[in-house]
Amino acid sequence: MQPRPVVLHFVPYASDEMLRKALTLKADALVLDLEDSVTPDNKDSARETVTRWLRQVDFPRQKRLVRINELDSEWGRADVESTMAGRPDGFLVPKAGDLAALNELDSFVTELEKLHRYPERGVEFFPIIETPNGVIHAHEVAQCPRVTAICGGRGGLDMAAALGAWRVRNEEGDLLEIFRLTGMMCLLAATAAGVQPIDSVLLLGDLERMRRECRESAEMGYTGWITIHPSQIEVVHKACFPSEDDVAESRELVAAFEEHRKLGKWAFRFKGQMVDVPNLKRAQTILQRVRLKHEIEANWKR
């Protein structure tokens, strides 16, 4: 079974050259973009190109996702109708914030699945939370049956534009608090709904800060990352999994819990600290993250 997406990498401009390069990257899904990277004059031709890719190009390892235009734009519905002919694995839905609109899209996709004789509910939704309305209604958006992940992130120019903010980071390069908060709200909404929380890797050039921010989002609970440049992918793979020390201590702690379980105790002293069930769950989460890493590495060796 394929591992669930960890890196969702954008393929911009509906460029054949960009796609050829992206197919060699260690991304778990490719996002074929019809929205921000495509000018209004090129929307129709980009849609035709992406539909052709879906129908003709072999994607041996990566999920095939399409970022459509906004549902209330003149292009959104046409994006879905055209690309469904190529049976994508899912749609990234920009500026999501209305459950009714997502449910309407769900019904439309269901009709197209029947038309093309695809498996029912085989196409997933990845709503992108990038406006104040989206943040406020993120938990509601997650209730759409096709939603398997919330793409949040801790910044972004769309959110800044919606807020009327003219900066995303302070003089030291750290995200302003409102953008950290929006990411946390998306993380909470996704986790509460039982869907995957996906962050965005926003930086280029500042490698150390990029590593630190990726590591922080992984430690908070994010399990997926959107990347826009190949250099970001390696950072995610290195920064977003537990260290060898974390793994070794977690294995030791799980073993200690098993020994104390036999004695009827699940609260005891471990390395100078009192531990109980929440500590066990944290250790199990770390070991689960390592198993996911091994699945990803095995997938890319095939």
Region 7-239: CATH code? 3.20.20.60
pLDDT reported for residue 59: 95
**% of the chain exceeding 90 in pLDDT:** 83
Model-level pTM?
0.92
Quote the pLDDT of residue 99. 95
Please name the residues in contact with 90: beta carbons below 8 A apart, sequence gap of 6 or more: 29, 63, 65, 66, 123, 124, 125, 126, 148
Average pLDDT, whole number, for the chain? 93
What is residue 298's predicted lDDT score, i.e. its pLDDT?
Answer: 83
Amino acid present at 177: E
The pLDDT value recorded for residue 296 is: 82
Which pLDDT tens digit goes with each residue over 79-94? 999 999 999 999 999 9
- Separation of alpha carbons 270 and 208, rounded Å: 33
| Rounded mean pLDDT, 104-118 | 98
**Gyration radius from the chain CA atoms:** 21
pLDDT per residue as tens digits for the range 174-219: 899 999 999 999 999 999 999 999 999 878 888 899 999 999 999 9
The per-residue pLDDT for 3 is: 55
Residue 153 scores a pLDDT above 90: no
Strands 196-200 and 149-151 come out as: parallel
Q: CATH 3.20.20.60 region(s) of the chain?
A: 7-239
Per-residue pLDDT, averaged over 61-72, amounts to: 96
Residue 300 has pLDDT above 80, yes or no: no
Torsion of CA 214, 294, 233, 43, to 10 degrees: -110
**pLDDT tens column, 234-251:** 999 888 899 899 999 999
**pLDDT (tens digit per residue) in 34-55:** 999 999 999 999 999 999 999 9
Kindly state the tokens that stand for 115.
């038309």
Q: What is the pLDDT of residue 1?
A: 39
d(CA 174, CA 166): 15
| Residue 292 pLDDT > 90 | no
Percentage of residues of the chain with pLDDT beyond 70? 99
Quick one: pLDDT at residue 154?
73
Beta strands in the chain (DSSP E): 7-11, 29-33, 63-67, 90-93, 124-127, 149-151, 196-200, 224-227, 268-270, 273-275
- 40 secondary structure, DSSP code: G
